Structure formats: C-alpha cells, structure tokens
Homo-oligomer: A and B are copies of this chain.
Amino acid sequence: MTATEARRAEVRAALIGAAEAAIAAHGLPGLRARDLAKTVGCALGAIYTAFPDLDALIQRVNLRTLAAFEGALGPEDRLAPLPDAGAATGELVRIGLAYLDFARANPLRWRALFQHQPQDGAPPPDWYLVEQARLFRFIEAPLRVLRPDLSPAACALLSRTLFSATHGIVILGLDARLMPLSHDVVRQQLETLIRAMAAGLSAADPGDAA
C-alpha cells in the first residue's frame, strides 16, 4: 500500500512542479492537461486520480507562489515588535516594495494568484486561507505599532485595506494597457502612497478605522 501511495505522492509533486513551470512560462492559459501528462510522463487520466480537476492543481501552484513570496519577505523575525512609528512605516514600505519586486520577478505566477477564479464559485480551501493569514501578519505587526489602540479585528481589516491599495498600484502599474510606467516610477508612486497612508493613520481619529 505504501508503494502505491508513494507513487501517487510522487506523481502529485511532479504534476505541481510541471504546472508551476507551465504557468511561469506561459501563464494560466498555458496550463494544458495533455502537456502536463506528457512532461510528467503519465497518462492523461492520471491527473484526475491525483487532483479532482485542474482548478485544484492551480490552487496548489498558487499556494507555492504565496509561500515563495513569504520567503522573499525575509526571515520570520521580521514579526518582532518595532521600536517606533518611523520604523513601522519603514517596514510597511519595505513590504510593499517587496510585493512589487516579487510581482515583477514572477509576473505570470503572480498574476495567476488573482486571474484564477474557480468556476465552481466554491470558497478557497482552508489551507489556502491559512497561508493568506500568515502573510497578513507581516502587515499587521507594524500596523500595531502605528495604531496600538486598534482591536485585532480592526487591525486585520486595516491591513487588508493597505494591501488592497498596494495591490492596485502593483497590478495596474505592471499592466502596460493602462500606462507604460518604468519600474522606478512605480516604485516611487508606491512608496509615496504607503507613506501617505501611514502618516494619515498615525494622525487619524481612532474612530475612523473601526
């Protein structure tokens, strides 16, 4: 039994790797079941013994992308409390720029995180939300320094807002359809945005973000 299970696990891992390579090379439309089977060296139907469908496989790839970004964010000790508001603002800027850099370095894998939406309309699995929450801790840590008065729920909410604004800059800044922007210009715009928000948050009426 363990022999067949090991083979299944091996095929699963190989499929995830091949899918990641296909997405990194040609984007989400570059993920084709027949190509996967060919590169992995298994039958077409074998894919569906390892995963219910290609959507589940994409989710696995997306999880790895999130984990790769977490690695790019730096070691775990970045979550240690920061000394003052200035350091906290700097940390937020650092995270935002790391997000931009990661998106630029891995454009297709990063786009797949948002481009993909399961046609089933089903919510993402728990292990996916867990990884999301892990990443948001990196934003919430400096946020707690800037706004120690916020409840954990309000802090979580505000971190989503900060991330959303950053994400907007990155996703449209890397999209040549809207405007051709150089790397440096996007960097500067992003830094300006984050510093403006951090400044606004420190000075804000605590009731604002409730």
Contact = CB atoms under 8 A, between A and B. Distances in A.
Nearest to A198: B196
Interface residues on A, range: 35 or more
Given A123-B176, A157-B181, A160-B179, 12 more contacts: A132-B178, A156-B179, A158-B189, A161-B189, A161-B193, A164-B178, A166-B168, A168-B169, A188-B208, A196-B196, A197-B197, A197-B200
A197 to B, nearest CB: 5
Contacts of A163: 172
A196 B123 CA distance: 33
Contacts of A171: 164, 168
Contacts of A197: 193, 196-197, 200
A172 B200 contact: no
Nearest to A163: B172
Contacts of A209: 189, 192
B204 A192 contact: yes
Contacts of A200: 192, 195-197, 199-200
A7 interface: no
Contacts of A172: 160, 163-164, 167
Contacts of A178: 132, 160, 164
A66 B157 CA distance: 30
Query: At the interface, is chain A mostly helix, strand, loop or mixed?
Result: helix
Given A166-B168, A192-B200, A193-B197, A177 B123 contact: yes
A124 interface: yes
Most central of A115, A169, A176, A196 by chain B CB within 10 Å? A196
B179 A208 contact: no
A161 B192 contact: yes
Interface in A37-62: none
A173 interface: yes
A109 B135 CA distance: 31
